[in-house]
Chain A
Amino acid sequence: MIVRRTTSIVLFLLLSGTMLTGCWSRVELNELAITSATSIDRDGDDWIVSFQVVIPSTISSGIGITGGGGGSPVIVYSTKGKTIREANMHSVYESPRRLYFAHNRVIVISEETARRGLNPVLEVYLRNPDARETVDVLVTAGKSRKILEQMMQIQRIPGDGIREINTIEAENSSALPEVKMYELAMNLASDSASALLPEIYLSGTKETSSLSAFENTTLPSKLRLGRAAVIKKDKMVGWLSRKDALGVAYMRDAINKSLVTVACPDGSGNNSSISIGSSSTNQRPSLIDGNLKVKLEVKAEGTLVQSDCKSLDLYKTDVIQQIEKAAEKEIASCILSGWQSLQKLKADAVGFAGLAHRTYRKEWRNWQKDWDAEFARIQIEPAVSVTLSNVGLSNQSLNVDKLREGKK
């Protein structure tokens, strides 16, 4: 009897659980507004949040999907509020569906917002479980909503496209980092309190916010990655050029792949390009007169991918060494110019503060009080070594005249 009663109680509880369905977090896919990109602008003290919402039916045109095809793949709208979340909430006044941020790929922050402080943005993303902190953060000069409105070639969802551009750039050129929200938070919370963010901007004359632009092979405007924004203590302090940013990447040991173009040793004014396949940087700190000096040992390995030099006999080791030397010089100059820009901005985007904290803990207590002053006194010494491991399929520069002679 007891067994039967327990079973019936358990059954009753289980069944009543299934009746609760309506109260649970069940959301059908067609009740969701899948946000692919978000942007944040400021208007006075208010926040303007823009959403790029995917319209699924126009993206995938399989059978049986009514109204598929022609329309714009995304729709952008903005809401305003005293806080970011309030602005988000105001979307219910105009959106027929619940905003869904789990698949938000990028967040674009306007320069104004960045200069006024990123803390509220970080707070929103780290507090709420529905907004993922793996979102890519980018900065744009001017109004950020414009970026979301821009259509993209090939990739139908612009938000997704921006993220792809960012990823591919970070993998292949390594000048601008791909920074996710949690990385930004970690960088800003570290001893150096500085971070770099990639810039996205509209190149071209007119906005491509209509599908009709895709009837042409060239677009009047495009989304493009530009400089790197330097963030210090949650506020943006300035820009780094792409070359400087690449130098900083070498300093930070954040190079995946890159490309170095050097002038020919023969003085012809032509250039050669070396694709850097792997690079590692060793930061070796030392104390000089009580100040920090960092020796940056960069070890890079690359492939010669193009050489326009008149005569180049790659069988000879000294020719190879010449090219290597030139590449080393080029990289060192990148590093130095990046370093100068950083010192000018007083932003320790390399993370020397952490290095100092780890290696000179006693001195760090003093430096910590005024790290900016100490940062300005830091000296660096780049020691770059490039190894050309592969010269491709030819040991000569290709020259049709020579080829013809060779035939005779």
Chain B
Amino acid sequence: MKKQNNGADSQGSEQANRLSSDIEDNIRYAQDTLGTGPDILIRRLHLFQESKAAVLSIAGITDKASVNLLVDSMLSEYREQSGLAREGDPFQALLYRMLAVGGIRSLETLYDLDVAMLEGLSVVLLDGYDRALAVNTGGGERRGVEEPSTQTVVRGPKEGFAESILTNISLLRTKIKSPNLRIEYKIIGQQTRTTVAVAYMKGISEDKVVNEVHRRLDAIETDSILDSGYIEEFIHEKKYSPFPLLQNTERPDAIAAGLLEGQVAIIVDGSPFALLAPVTFFKFFQSSEDYYQSYDIATFLRVIRFVSFFASMLLPSLYIAITTFHQEMLPTPLLISIAAQREGVPFPAIIEAMIMELTFEILREAGVRMPRIIGSAISIVGALVLGQAAVQAGLISAAMVIVVSFTAIASFVIPAVNMGTSARLIRFAMMILAGSFGVFGIMAGLMVLLTHLSGLRSFGVPYLTPISPLVKNNLKDVFVRAPWWAMNKRPALFGKPGTSRQGKQEKKAISSQSGKSGEEEEGQ
């Protein structure tokens, strides 16, 4: 509560103001602060013979049926009388005998009254009392559960997080039906008052990490949290790094898997993207689908992803370096073929590559921002004008177009969009290095990158674990995805070391069972 005091000064004094015992004062206050628009609903009632009462709510963020039920329950004469008779006090009668809608809490100050209404609660005022009751009639229109738009899978659950935090947590709870799943809430943002939930598995997550997540969330001082992206930037370690230090996902199954490996999830109201911390570099190359399809193809795809990552980061720079510095590295027929294509091109390779890469980035950005209806126009302009016409006009060599296209496609292979983005940024730096120093420059750049990666940490976990430092047990899920029956131990980096996922005999059980049953039959 101390935090809110730091906000607007006017609020500070108002906060201390208690509710008036005169109901009209309180209603006037609410109208002053929230306005008298059509969405501010004030229902005046007369209860207990002549005592004035009122129900205040905001239309749109409350559930109409709940508000009606609330009012209805108050207007029951039978309840009124029996309640008053048993409790003696009208306010107590209201609280314990009359209100038919749950989630009731008592309000003391004017500020609380505003906040409660803005959170979607209905406030019940009774004349003569300097207290009020807030009743949970939350609701309003929100997007329902749909298939995630970013991390699609062929096989696996098709549901994705929505904006409502309650929906999201319900999705998570249906995945993990364990009392060990702990969810703790906090409110961040003085103006937006966004609900943020911290979810973790007790007994699997490291307590230190959970505490650290809480500490960092509590340290955030900002007026607004509109998406989990805000939180991500506030709480990750290094302020300057092209690499993502928190994982985000739209998939409840990915969050559940993360929790079961000991990660801590941060779910933010209003954002379908939940965060997972801590995270390592290699986590970004794992897709949910890896675990749903057979391990051999998952392993193959994972290798493809690593190759694509390096291709999307390095391919244009290698092209520049080899064609302008190390022509002897190419086989003769290839060299002559590329030389033939470059014959009429008026730009040096580095400029040519920069033009094409920037063009692609512009096309891509346009494709993302543009209304979907005119999307096809972009593909025509992109493919025809930039692909073919530029080559035919002799401005760009065909090989360059191939390199740029491959780079572009490769950058989409990485399952985590934010990791793909870092490869995109690094690509430009690498191109400048390659244009200046050739392969030497690329190697120097990679060296700097490796040093940087080794120095990164996400909530205390070295970014390159389990490769550096080497954690042998965790290698089962890095470059290869071992079969489920072989991954007995949880990855030791996030959670408590050595906790097992399953009995070791899992695989044996299947084989020995079938063997035994055969023997038994013979015996009989």
A78-131 residues at the B interface, CB under 8 angstroms: 100, 102-103, 105
- The distance in angstroms between the C-alpha atoms of A179 and B394, with both chains bound, is 41
Q: Taking the nearest CB of chain B, how far is it from the CB of A197, in angstroms?
A: 22
Instruction: Give A102's nearest chain B residue, CB to CB.
Output: B328
The answer for the CA separation of A30 and B474 in the assembled complex, in Å, is: 50
Q: Is the CB of A34 within 8 A of B339?
A: yes
A238 at the interface (CB under 8 A from B): no
Bound CA span A275–B223, Å:
87
Let me know if A190 is at the binding interface, CB within 8 A: no
B1 beta carbon closer than 8 Å to chain A: no
Tell me the nearest residue of chain A to B330, going by C-beta. A103
**A65–B340 CB distance below 8 A:** yes
Q: How far is the CA of A34 from the CA of B435 in the complex (A)?
A: 21
For A105, the chain B residues whose CB sits under 8 A away are 332
Contact call B341/A60, Cβ cutoff below 8 A: yes
Instruction: Among B338, B343, B388, B398, find the residue whose CB has the most chain A CB atoms closer than 10 A.
Output: B343
Interface string of B430-442 (1 = CB under 8 A from A): 0011011110000
Which residues from A are CB-within-8-Å of B328? 102-103, 132
CB contact under 8 A between A64 and B392, given known A26-B438, A56-B336? yes
Interface centre among B327, B345, B398, B432 (most CB of A within 10 A): B327
Smallest beta-carbon distance A14→chain B, Å:
9
A27 at the interface (CB under 8 A from B): yes
Instruction: Enumerate chain A residues within 8 angstroms of B336, measured Cβ to Cβ.
Output: 34, 54, 56, 59-60, 157
- Type the 1/0 row for A47-85, where 1 means its CB is closer than 8 Å to any CB of B: 000000010110111111111100000000000000000
B223-282 at interface with A (beta carbon < 8 Å)? none
Q: Which of A33-49 contact B (CB under 8 A)?
A: 34, 36
For residue B391, CB closer than 8 A to chain A, the reply is yes
- A66: which of B343, B348, B388 is its contact (CB, 8 Å)? B343
The answer to whether B327 and A68 touch across the interface, beta carbons within 8 angstroms, is no
Residues of B within 8 A of A29 (CB): 323-324, 327, 335, 338-339, 342, 349
Contact A160 B332 (CB under 8 A): yes
Interface: B325 (CB within 8 A): yes
Check A24/B437 contact, CB under 8 A, given A63-B391, A64-B393, A100-B327: yes
Taking a contact as CB atoms under 8 Å apart, the answer to whether A21 and B436 are in contact is yes
A57 to B333, CA, bound (A): 13
How distant is the Cα of A274 from the Cα of B78 in the complex, in angstroms? 117
User: Is residue A32 within 8 Å, beta carbon to beta carbon, of the partner chain?
Assistant: yes
Report the Cα distance A266→B84, complex, angstroms: 134
Q: Is the CB of A102 within 8 A of B343?
A: no
Chain A residue with the shortest CB-CB distance to B393: A64
Q: How many angstroms from the CA of A66 to the CA of B436 in the assembled complex? A: 29
Assembled-state Cα–Cα distance A24/B437 (Å): 7
- How many residues from B make CB contacts under 8 Å with A? 33
A34 touches B324 (CB 8 A): no
Distance, CA A366 to CA B340, complexed state (A): 60
Please name the residue on chain A nearest to B344 by beta carbon.
Answer: A66
When distances are taken between beta carbons in the complex, the residues of chain A under 8 Å from B337 are: 56, 59-60
Question: Is A394 among interface residues, defined by CB-CB distance under 8 A?
Answer: no
Complex formed: what's the CA distance from A61 to B333 in Å? 13
In the complex, residue of chain A having the shortest beta-carbon distance to the beta carbon of B389? A64
- With a cutoff of 8 Å between Cβ atoms, the chain B residues found around residue A25 in the complex are 325, 438
Task: Name the residue on A nearest B399 (C-beta).
Answer: A62
Whether A32 contacts B343 in the complex (CB less than 8 A), given A54-B336, A103-B332, comes out as no
Residue of A with least CB distance to B320: A26
In the bound complex, CA of A125 to CA of B432 (Å): 34
Question: Hey, which chain B residues are within 8 Å of A61, CB to CB?
Answer: 340
Give a binary string over B313-336; 1 marks a CB under 8 Å from any A CB, 0 the rest. Answer: 000000000011101100011011
User: Contacts A34-B335, A54-B336 known; A18 to B342 CB distance under 8 Å?
Assistant: no
Q: Which residues of B contact A28 (CB under 8 A)?
A: 323-324, 342, 348-349
Residues in A whose Cβ lies below 8 Å from that of B345: 30
Residues in B387-427 with C-beta less than 8 Å from chain A: 388, 391-394, 397-398
Question: Cβ of A406 < 8 Å from any Cβ of B?
Answer: no
Residues of A within 8 A of B393 (CB): 64
Q: Identify B325's interface contact among A18, A26, A57, A100, CB under 8 A.
A: A26
Q: Are B432 and A56 in contact (CB under 8 A)?
A: no
Contacts known (A29-B349, A34-B335); A62 close to B437, Cβ less than 8 A = no
Return the chain A residue nearest B345 by Cβ. Answer: A30
Inter-chain contact A63/B339, CB cutoff 8 Å: no
In the complex, what residues of B have CB within 8 A of residue A60's CB?
Answer: 336-337, 340-341
Contact residues in B for A68 (Cβ distance below 8 Å): 340
Residues of chain A within 8 A of B339, CB atoms compared: 29-30, 32, 34, 54, 56
* Interchain CA distance A103-B394 in the complex, whole Å: 25
Main secondary structure of the interface of A (DSSP, over half): loop
Chain A interface residue count, CB cutoff 8 Å, equals 34
Identity of the chain A residue whose Cβ is nearest the Cβ of B342 in the assembled complex: A29
Q: Does A267 contact B (CB under 8 A)?
A: no
Q: How far is the CB of A19 from chain B (nearest CB, A)?
A: 8
Q: How far is the CB of B26 from chain A (nearest CB, A)?
A: 55
Q: Which residues of A contact B323 (CB under 8 A)?
A: 28-29
Measured in the bound complex, the distance between the Cα atoms of B325 and A27 in whole Å is 6
| Alpha-carbon gap, A61 to B332, bound state (A) | 16
Give the shortest distance, in Å, between A58 (CB) and chain B (any CB). Answer: 8
Please determine whether B432 and A62 come into contact, CB atoms closer than 8 angstroms: no
Partner of A64, one of B335, B348, B391, B433: B391
- In the bound assembly, the distance between CA atoms of A36 and B336 in angstroms comes to 10
Q: How many angstroms from the CA of A240 to the CA of B469 in the assembled complex?
A: 65
| A290 on the B face (CB < 8 A) | no
When C-beta atoms are compared, the residue in chain A nearest to B346 turns out to be A30
CB pair A102 B327 closer than 8 Å: yes
Residues of B within 8 A of A392 (CB): none
How far does the Cβ of B238 sit from chain A's closest Cβ, in whole Å? 14
Q: In the assembled complex, which residues on chain A have CB atoms less than 8 Å from the CB atom of B348?
A: 26, 28
Contacts of B394 in A (CB 8 A): 64-66
In the assembled complex, how far is the CB of residue B402 from the closest CB belonging to chain A, in whole angstroms? 11
Select A65's contact among B325, B332, B341, beta carbons within 8 Å: B341
Is B335 a contact of A65 with CB atoms below 8 Å? no
CB proximity to A under 8 Å, residues B340-368: 340-345, 348-349
* Interchain nearest-CB distance for B333 vs A (Å): 8
CA of A28 to CA of B398, assembled, Å:
16
User: Within 8 Å of chain B (Cβ to Cβ): is A20?
Assistant: yes
Across the interface, name the chain A residue whose C-beta is closest to B335. Answer: A103
CB under 8 Å from chain B, chain A span 325-378: none
A68 to B342, CA, bound (A): 12
| A73 nearest in chain B by CB position | B336
Minimum distance in angstroms from B247 CB to a CB of chain A: 29
User: Taking CB as reference atom, which chain B residue is nearest A66?
Assistant: B344
Q: Which residues of B contact A65 (CB under 8 A)?
A: 340-341, 343-344, 394
A27–B436 contact, CB under 8 A?
Answer: no
Give A105's nearest chain B residue, CB to CB: B332
A96 to chain B, nearest CB (A): 13
Shortest Cβ distance from residue B100 to the other chain A in the assembled complex, whole angstroms: 64
**In the complex, chain B residues whose CB is within 8 Å of the CB of A157:** 336
**Chain B neighbourhood of A30, CB < 8 A:** 339, 342-343, 345
**Interface readout for A137-164 with B: 1 if CB under 8 Å, 0 if not?**
0000000000000000000010010000
Kindly list chain A residues whose C-beta atoms are within 8 Å of the C-beta of B324: 26-29
Residues of B within 8 Å of A18, CB to CB, are 432-433, 435-436
The 9 closest A-B pairs by CB, nearest first: A102-B328, A60-B340, A56-B340, A56-B339, A64-B391, A57-B343, A18-B436, A64-B392, A29-B342
- Show 19 residue pairs from A and B whose CB-CB distance is below 8 angstroms, ordered by the A residue: A20-B436, A24-B437, A29-B338, A34-B335, A54-B339, A59-B337, A60-B340, A61-B340, A63-B398, A64-B391, A64-B392, A64-B394, A65-B341, A66-B344, A67-B343, A102-B327, A103-B328, A105-B332, A157-B336
Chain A interface (Cβ < 8 Å from any Cβ of B) = 17-18, 20-21, 24-30, 32, 34, 36, 54, 56-57, 59-68, 100, 102-103, 105, 132, 157, 160
Given contacts A56-B336, A59-B337, 17 further A-B contacts (CB under 8 A): A17-B436, A18-B435, A18-B436, A21-B436, A27-B325, A29-B323, A29-B349, A30-B345, A54-B339, A56-B337, A57-B343, A61-B340, A63-B398, A64-B392, A67-B343, A102-B328, A103-B332
